[in-house]
Structure 1
Amino acid sequence: MFGINGGELIVLLVVALVIVGPERLPHYAEQLAQLVKSVRRFAKGAQAQMREELGPEFDDIDWQKLDPRQYDPRRIVRDALSDVWDDDPAPKKNSGAHAASAPRATPPRASAATGVDLQKKGAAAPAAAPYDEDAT
């Protein structure tokens, strides 16, 4: 609890006893007990309100899954990507990764040497470079 072992807890209790004194200690212990009881009542009331508002869905919630100690970013990304890959249809034969990553040939707008717009002059745009899927 809070990273305190048994020996440190005893030392803290002895220091608290010395600081508070034996006259006021029962009063503070009673206040601490009342605080713990009120926190428990508040938590039970919040749980009852959630159960009432959510109805039967409250019992279906997997509370272990919502535990922040279970957070693993690698698992979350892996699960998200596996959902995406499972939803995609099988890739077509000609639309593999090579075709998607192949650069598209776009005709040049201007000549680098002259700055003249090749499309306005009616010059033919250069043909796209051949792409062979079997060669790569």
Structure 2
Amino acid sequence: MVILVVAALMILGPERLPGAIRWTAQSLRQVRDYASGATSQLRSELGPELDELRKPLEELNELRRPFNDLRGMTPRSMVTKHLLDGDDSLFTGKFDKPTSKSIGSEYAPPPGYTPPEPPKPLARNEKPPIDFDAT
């Protein structure tokens, strides 16, 4: 605003600036009155039909809402949100602290399932077992 006032002062000069501000304010007020008058005239002429017209417009705005959510999203945040369900440990490197909603959080093991025990560490100079079907 300050830049606009300084530019107007330089262009119009101090003697014409108050008149220009008055004219601008009056024009804005007149445009606002025209817009509110047109709205009230539409409401009085259309009545309940105006609400029926607004309903499809609101539905269109609802359809546009997901695209408005994409504004400001980076590729990293898109991948995190849509592919990784909000788990950003892949990007941050903090794998020890699971987020509240991580990958597979909706999975529940069947009742009575006990996970297998992890294998014992190998003793010194012990050869690892070989699975011939896997190699």
TM-score, L = length of structure 1: 0.39
| Structure whose alpha-carbon radius of gyration is higher | 1
